[in-house]
Amino acid sequence: SGCRPPRLSGSSWTWHTMLLSLLGVRRGLLSGAASWSRMLHSSSAVSEPAAPKAVALSKLKDNFNDATSVTYLEELEKRFNEDPKSVDRTWASFFTNLNRGVSGEAIAEAFDAFEKGQITSPMMHASLSTQTIQESMRLILLVRSFQVMGHFAAELDPLKLDSRLPPQELDPAYWGFTESDLDREFFLGNWNQAGFLAEGRPIRTLREILTRLRETYCSTTGYEYMHMPDRDKCNWVRERIETIEAPAFSKKEKLNILDRLAWSDMFENFLANKYTAAKRFGLEGAESLIPGMKALIDRAADLGVDNIVIGMPHRGRLNVLANVVRKPMSQIFSEFSGAPSTATSGEYTGSGDVKYHLGTSFSRPTSSGKQVYLSLVANPSHLEAVNTVVLGKARAKQHYDEDELRTRCMPILLHGDGAFSGQGIVYETLDMSQLVDYTVGGCIHLVVNNQVAFTTDPKDGRSSPYCTDVAKSVMVPIFHVNNDDVEAVVRVCQLSAEWRQAWKTDVVVDLVCYRKHGHNEIDEPMFTQPLMYKKIKVHRNAHQQYVDILLAEGSISKEEVKTTHDKILATLNTEFDAGKSYVPKKKDWLASHWQGFMSPAQLSRIRNTGVHEQVLRQVGMAITELPATFVPHKQIKKVYELRRAMIESGEGIDWGMAEALAFATLLSEGNHVRMSGQDVERGTFSHRHALIHDQTTGAKYVPLSHVYPGQKPHDFIVSNSSLSEYGVLGFELGYSMENPNSLVLWEAQFGDFSNTAQVIFDQFLSSGESKWLRQTGLVCLLPHGYDGQGPEHSSARLERFLQMCDEDPYQMPQVDEAQWFTGSHLGTQTQNVNWQVVNVTTPANYFHVLRRQVHRQFRKPLIVMSPKNLLRHPKCKSPLYEFDDLPDDAGIVGVRFKRLIMDDTGAMPKTRAPRPTEEESFKRVVFCSGKVFYDLHAEREKTGQDQKNEVAIVRLEQLAPFPFDLIVRELRRYPNAEVVWCQEEHANQGAYFHVQPRLVSCMMAEGTPIPVGGRVKYAGRSPCASTATGYSKVHAQEQAQLVDQALDLDF
């Protein structure tokens, strides 16, 4: 019985396989075992069995292939039941399969196939023969459950306060598997999936499957990616996270991570010790952000990124400035003093801002030796407001660097958990991510998840499980990671950089952390989160934990840790001492394109905006010519035919054509022009038609992209935006800040809707230069005018923009009359004002004010109360000669925007000299602005007053900065005239409260009698809470009344 018997003649079964088959049958029979044994030892079923020999214990560990008798198998089985490890692993597998219900026949058949060379693993094959279709399906669903919901069971909370129960779908019992199935081998097929199912080992035990799934999806990182309806993207993620072995860092990499983590932690501790009572919005509790960000930047640089634009809130900003962007720490320490910067000669310092709002830029090397340019954009406390500003700046960088693949410039946005889920601008930002004229090729979002928003718990601050769930709307991956596992933080940050470069879409990293202090360092968090802060007080931070880990695994010694810490502390002390005597360097603009531009403290020369007539005609013909094969809509064809006739005749140029000429001439001079907003391609009022559609093929054609031969396709961009004001205005602001040699415009559908972007107007556009020394020439077109369309389609809230103007109404500018005709007589008046507000009434003046934005040595935002009614008003036309470079007035040098337009009655032609000939017959001068001029003018003609030379109508085309000099000139012209201000808006709105004190200042300066009470007479609507009436008849009555009041000398 010690040797293997020969094969049975006439049978394909070996003696061995018969033994296995019979043993399997024996399990089902309590009697007859002896007869089966006799059959195995004799050729005759009736022969007497020989007494079995004892089997040595050592033989019990023989290989499965050495089996020769039932007695032997019985002794092996007994031994296996006592201790499965006491038998050879092949026998252990055999008995395990029998215990699982695999029949002896199945095992015998499997070995038969094995000996024939048909399979390579008979035990596995026999085991799988009992796997049912239902088990296969349930197994696949189990795997998918981990891929979809495993993050709910991940160990994400460093404080372990998360009390959520894991989904029951992650329990194998939910799918019908029992304890006895854990070591059973299953076939797990692969259907076009990467990662776990594509390792080339489709057969494994349930225990191994569960272990791998839990390691991948339920550790300190939670992955959300299965919501993406793209198999290739999902496979890309799986390939990188469902790895055979967990990724591990080398010793050198670990020491680098430790160094960065130590800098992050010790910088905050240093500030806390030096400035105990100062608000700094420190990063304590989220220290892993710094090594994570630096690893992200390093990986991005390795993948081709050389320019990164960053936007972030105030928490951790100083740490990011110091340790990521590399702002000099001595400068940061100096800013804690709170003293204003000392201006050098010709330098503008502005009003300044708190240290945790400031930005900077720096070019720094990466760990692999590459260079990357980092810009941290300045921003206010209004959370998330900076988001689209960053994206716009990044898009502009890509445009000017011709980075069409969007691989070289990358934006990074940092968020707080409460803001990411609570602020609507976050969705506006995400929604723009794949729009053709707004995409930046993907933005990396880093959410510093404090698990509390100021004092509000997550359960009170959002309805979704995660603060990042809004990002699922645009089908991008979300990686949740525990801040206390710094290596996991570094890995997901690197993964996010790889994703962005590979797929050119957004990606979100949710850094689950805590806030060691309250909202700021002098806030008491125990008032509102006592349980959380009891945990925080005894919690060891990520730096301390990582030191312990590295010491335990022998990657570093205590002496090396001390050396690292001592070096950091010494550097901090050195920089602190240097900060006491720090002298700021001369302020510069973030982008090199701004070299040579003037600050408000530097006098800029006046440039003319007229264009040679030949150039006007040349570009005018080019932008009115459509391809011969293009089939425009018949009405659009007529529009372009009329525009061409305007150029040919030199007469009747309307608003839309004037704008097109401004764009075309700027393009021909090498400038970039970009316009966006809702419906801007056609224009809300169907007046622009900058992009037209072929009525047969649907093809698009942009005439302004064909101003001259060889024009680059994207030199002119006109793009309908998403239905967003806040987000899109921020984007265009960021775009305009990158390069001054451009005209960037945003147009509101109606000016009334611009107030949904009020944060951008208030916190950035009106005050950005004063707070952060950053100029912009952004143009905002806000359709405004009272046409009887009701309270939401009448007013762009002109009064708000004027109220934000920082000009002193009682301080008259110094006028150098010797420079009057050159336009340089006002010095730096325009440069000293924060922005310009105009209400233009002629196409030619609109042309010049747009060109003025570019033809200057400085940049200021321009707010235009753009017209609606005037777009097709028969009187609102301009001849071509008003666009050219030949002045129409004697003595004037060059052609420029007219800040004020004189009356067209009385002594003609009117002189523009500072001391004009007096016209004593005029009894009233009506100052007005915008569309109301045409109503006043028409009524004056209708009544014949224009022939009497009694009432002059003077238009203020520019309201801010106020044209003090020109108002004084008109007061000199009409020495006997009463001053009246006329407007369409209600008295508590419009320009009245802006012009009233300024008109009085001018009257006092010129000696004109001041009305009783010191108020200029007002002709307009009475005060009202609403901007306009909703009744057309009431509107008409109000309009007629205010016109009558303005012209009635008895009023």
For 718-751, the pLDDT digits (tens) are: 999 999 999 999 999 999 999 999 999 999 999 9
By the 8 A CB rule, do 272 and 282 touch?
A: yes
Output the CA–CA distances (angstroms, integers) from residue 740 to 301, 610, 888, in the order listed: 27, 20, 30
The sign of the dihedral angle between the CA atoms of 164, 168, 170, 171 is positive
Output the CA–CA distances (angstroms, integers) from residue 383 to 278, 312, 475, 521, 728, in the order listed: 21, 9, 24, 19, 16
Nearest to residue 385, comparing CAs of 352, 419, 360, 417? 419
E-strand ranges in 296-429 read: 307-311, 360-365, 371-376, 409-416
Q: In the chain, what is the greatest distance between 2 CA atoms, to the nearest angstrom?
A: 149
Distance of alpha carbon 799 from alpha carbon 983, whole angstroms: 12
Burial track 527-541 (b if 16+ CB lie within 10 A, e otherwise): eebeebbeebeebeb
Backbone angles phi, psi at 978, to 5 degrees: -80, 140
Q: Residue 77 is encoded by which pair of tokens?
A: 């089985």
By the 8 A CB rule, do 621 and 647 touch?
A: yes
Distance of alpha carbon 668 from alpha carbon 705, whole angstroms: 11
Distance of alpha carbon 517 from alpha carbon 783, whole angstroms: 47
Q: Residue 613 is encoded by which pair of tokens?
A: 């007539």
What's the confidence (pLDDT) of residue 727? Answer: 96
> Crossing angle for the helix pair 558-579 and 251-274, nearest 10 degrees?
40
Tell me the whole-structure pTM to 2 decimals: 0.88
**Residue 241: strand, helix, or coil:** helix
Q: Residue 846 is encoded by which pair of tokens?
A: 């609109």
DSSP state, 386?
Answer: T
What single-letter amino acid sits at 272?
A: A
End-to-end, the C-alpha distance of the chain in Å comes to 132
Sorted by sequence, the CB contacts under 8 Å of residue 39 that are 6+ apart come out as 22, 45
Say which residue the tokens 């709910």 belong to.
Answer: 152
- Read out DSSP for 739-798? -SSEEEEEE-SSGGGGGGGHHIIIIIITTHHHHH------EEE-----SS--TTSS---H
Nearest to residue 757, comparing CAs of 418, 385, 504, 235? 385
DSSP state, 456?
Answer: B
Q: Residue 759 is encoded by which pair of tokens?
A: 């944060």
Output the CA–CA distances (angstroms, integers) from residue 445 to 244, 294, 398, 449, 792, in the order listed: 29, 14, 19, 12, 36
Distance of alpha carbon 1050 from alpha carbon 1041, whole angstroms: 14
Backbone angles phi, psi at 51, to 5 degrees: -65, 130
The sign of the dihedral angle between the CA atoms of 336, 339, 341, 344 is negative
- Containing 144, the helix (H) or strand (E) segment is helix 133-149
Distance of alpha carbon 171 from alpha carbon 619, whole angstroms: 72
Backbone angles phi, psi at 361, to 5 degrees: -145, 155
By the 8 A CB rule, do 424 and 767 touch?
A: no
By the 8 A CB rule, do 306 and 373 touch?
A: yes
Distance of alpha carbon 346 from alpha carbon 828, whole angstroms: 12
What's the confidence (pLDDT) of residue 348? Answer: 62
E-strand ranges in 388-485 read: 409-416, 444-449, 478-482
By the 8 A CB rule, do 314 and 281 touch?
A: yes
**Residue 294: strand, helix, or coil:** helix
By the 8 A CB rule, do 600 and 348 touch?
A: yes
Distance of alpha carbon 594 from alpha carbon 738, whole angstroms: 8
Beta-carbon neighbour count of residue 266 at 10 Å? 18
Nearest to residue 895, comparing CAs of 475, 662, 610, 650? 610
What phi-psi label fits residue 831: left (phi over 0), alpha (psi between -120 and 50 degrees) or beta? Answer: alpha
Distance of alpha carbon 755 from alpha carbon 133, whole angstroms: 61
DSSP state, 872?
Answer: G
Q: Is 800 exposed, middle or buried (0-12, 13-18, 19+ CB in 10 A)?
A: middle
The low-confidence residues of the chain, meaning pLDDT below 50, are 1-18, 22, 24-49, 51-61, 588-590
Distance of alpha carbon 610 from alpha carbon 997, whole angstroms: 33
Beta-carbon neighbour count of residue 1011 at 10 Å? 14
By the 8 A CB rule, do 114 and 123 touch?
A: no
Query: What is the 3-class SS of 884-922, one letter each residue?
Result: CCCCCCCCCCCCCCCCEECCCCCCCCCCCCCCCCCCCCC
What's the confidence (pLDDT) of residue 66? Answer: 53
Distance of alpha carbon 370 from alpha carbon 1029, whole angstroms: 63
By the 8 A CB rule, do 1022 and 918 touch?
A: no
Distance of alpha carbon 636 from alpha carbon 689, whole angstroms: 8
What single-letter amino acid sits at 755?
A: N
Distance of alpha carbon 878 from alpha carbon 902, whole angstroms: 16
Distance of alpha carbon 412 from alpha carbon 416, whole angstroms: 14
What's the confidence (pLDDT) of residue 477? Answer: 98
By the 8 A CB rule, do 966 and 958 touch?
A: no
By the 8 A CB rule, do 918 and 949 touch?
A: no
Backbone angles phi, psi at 425, to 5 degrees: -65, -20
Distance of alpha carbon 126 from alpha carbon 122, whole angstroms: 6
Sorted by sequence, the CB contacts under 8 Å of residue 92 that are 6+ apart come out as 80, 84, 85
Distance of alpha carbon 143 from alpha carbon 939, whole angstroms: 80
